[in-house]
Structure 1
Amino acid sequence: MVDYKYKLSIIIPMYNAEKYIGICLDSILDSDLLKEEYEIVIVNDGSKDKSPEIAQNYAAKYSNITYLSQENQGQSTARNYGIKTCQGEYVWCVDADDTVSSQVKHVLDILSQYPKLDILSTWLKVVTEDNVLVRTGGADNIYNKLISGREAVISGYAPGSVCGLLIRKDFILSNELFFYPNLTHQDVELSFRAFAYAKKVYFLDETIYNYVLHSNSVTQSLTKRKKYIIDNIKIYESFVSLYLNFEKTDIELSNAIRKYNQKALFGLVFSLWKNRNEWKELGINKEVLSILEDKGLYPLRGNFYSIKKNLFVKFLNIKSLLVN
């Protein structure tokens, strides 16, 4: 059994975040967390601005802040680096341009109350740069009760941001729950995979994380949208492997994962049809459908758990309607 130095490790991947990293770090340092309870691990992902200098100044000032650096390899690799080197029993991924709540310590009390808890899930608060509340969000599951990850998935858990999750490091290591590199929507893939394997999870109906909407993150170019869609295909492939992995040992869990994946796949192809005129110039539909065909994910097959969807699939499987 590993004797961890801290109860919590906060992993912050950082790339060109000179405008935000100080605000992020201050929100953590000014929270009610005791210094001896946590560490902050900043992983510089090849930044070209002044953020490394800012982060190193914080690391020099605070003994519980560690600064690491790597060549630019993406957020996934930076997070994995931080997770592998951190000294905390639990891992919490925080993005460099977001902030945390001032009231966090009670979350550690819950972790102490439930030894060997694999995942603690909390809510996220979406705010503007002026701290105006836009919305709150979290998993729609049983709150303030200890359940298994299996129960959560079967009851309809929808994967989302890992920034709302505190995950036990031993659980991560024993199940090799690391982020896949270069995935735009890496959180969805990792969180669903983690819940499928978790024995003990706890859903807390409180918010400890602030997702900040910055002016440069509101809009998304079609080129980025194209990568986002293609990356989703990689996630669907991962989920296929996941439900096949449980097919012989837990058919109910396998079917729940398959159901989620089928609905997500339907949503992707439906979006190709819905946006076919806008995306035509970049050839998004043609390229995405080609990849789906190569992966055996198109034409759509199987049950889509809705009479309307099962009928509409016949329409969506007419390829000429999506590319012309």
Structure 2
Amino acid sequence: MKLSIILPVYNVEKYIVKCLESIYFQDVSTNDYEVIIIDDGTKDKSMELIKEFSKKYNNIIVHHQENKGLANARNKGIGLAKGDYIYFLDSDDYIKGGVLSTIMSTIDLYDLDVLTFNSKSINYSDILDSLEITQNKNFNVNVETGVEYISGRSYKNEVWWYVVKKSFLEDLNISFSEGTYVEDGIFTANVLLNAKRIAHIPLDMHRYVQRPQSIMSKKTPRHYHKMAVDMVNVAITFKPLLDSLEPTSEMQVKAYNRLKVRQESYVFFGLLRMLSSNIRLKEVKLILNEVRKAKAYPLTVFAGHEYSGATYKALSFVFSKKKLFCLVFRIANPVLRKRAS
């Protein structure tokens, strides 16, 4: 078994059939890959649709469990996977037609720890685009270490940009942090930083479907609170990753600086979400003290190449002054305004 596609499922009845169709609109034998579906306690008709779809194929494995969240479902999928390589696909997203042969042949030929490719955001109305096979597969492959890869590009946090060798994850004991919304952040940084053989190919592979009811689009004060705390915790967890790098060469310095920007970006966007959350000012002050201990605050490199706009620079200046941010928090926070009125 060359590839295991791990597919957590939770209330995606509108999307799941098209997602599965894209997985099977491919140019390889179903003997070469498996689809591991983790039913994470879905409450809609997703599993009924999957049961009907799976009658056509013998390489679909289904695991049922109570709702434990996306990170837990992915970790369970890793444990069940029989493939040499793993790909994490969200069940409301899609992959392009006719891409798996290129993915499999590339990881075989170059014995990679990680392979990366291209993704594109689409609306739900554009999903048929996934079933068109219009690929240019004539490209050069440059194998790098993970540190070289990070130093040379603004890498992506989301795991669906990457195919990863299973034994690589197991040897390094890399898994998803459970109970958090931003479970991809530390997982991806760990994978890239530890990879010895990684390559990127300009293959049009993945489709990210933007939908208003997704987890990342919820806009309640309680949700913003949870998101803010999770983002800050990721920034704190970045400290040992940064400490593991010895910036003694130009390449290592570039990788360190890029990871530093990524660490501070979690702090920045966490603080931004606090302004619309139900978090209390006392907790905000405690969090700022914690990120300072992790050397992720104040923001020293955030407003640079990746976040270079005037708005980022202005907000970064305000957020980096603890007293000033707390003042802005008092003024902008909707919960405090409601209490005051």
Q: TM-score, normalised by structure 2?
A: 0.78
Cα shift readout 1:30-85 (whole Å, capped 9, x = no counterpart) = 22232111110000111112222222333344111100111111000101101111
Match of 1:136 in 2: none
- Which residue of structure 2 aligns with residue 220 of structure 1? 218
Residue 168 in 1 paired to residue 178 in 2? Answer: no
Equivalent position of 2:122 in the other structure: 127
Cα distance in structure 1, aligned partners of 2:210 and 2:319: 39
Distance 2:251 2:283 in 1: 32
Match of 1:185 among 174, 182, 185: 182
Q: Is the Cα–Cα contact under 8 Å of residues 239 and 257 in structure 1 kept in the other structure?
A: no
How far has the Cα of 1:174 moved from its partner? 0.5
Where does residue 153 of structure 1 map in the other structure? 150
* Partner residue in 2 for 1:47: 42
Runs of 4 or more, structure 1, over 6 Å off, are 250-254, 272-276, 305-309
Tell me the amino acid that sits aligned with residue 148 of structure 1: T
Q: How many angstroms apart in 1 are the aligned matches of 2:123 and 2:92?
A: 12
Unaligned runs of 5+ in 1: 1-5, 134-142
User: Residues 174-197 of structure 1: CA distance to partner in whole angstroms, max 9, x if unpaired?
Assistant: 011111102212222211110000
- Name the aligned partner's letter for residue 312 of structure 1: F
Matching residue within 286, 290, 295 for 2:286: 290
Matches within 5 A, 1:1-324: 6-104=1-99, 105-115=101-111, 117-131=112-126, 144-217=141-214, 219-222=217-220, 223-247=222-246, 259-264=257-262, 266-267=264-265, 270=268, 279=276, 282-283=278-279, 287-294=283-290, 296-297=293-294, 300-301=297-298, 303-304=300-301, 312=317, 316-318=321-323, 319-324=325-330
Contact 1:244-1:254 within 8 A present in 2 as well: no
Q: Secondary structure at the match of 1:178?
A: coil
Does the CA contact (< 8 Å) of 1:259 and 1:305 recur in 2?
no
Give the conservation status (yes or no) of the 8 Å contact 1:89–1:168: yes
Greater strand proportion: 1
Gaps of 5+ in 2: 130-139, 305-312, 331-341
* Deviations 1:146-189 (CA, angstroms, capped at 9, x unpaired): 11101112334433211110000010100111111022122222
Root-mean-square deviation over aligned CA pairs? 3.2
| AA matched with 2:188 | S
Name the CA shift for 1:285/1:206 in 2 (closer, same or farther; >3 Å).
farther
Moved more, 282-291 or 180-189: 282-291
In structure 2, C-alpha distance between the alignment counterparts of 1:9 and 1:95, rounded to whole Å: 14
By how many angstroms is 1:263 displaced?
2.9
Letter in 2 for 1:240: K
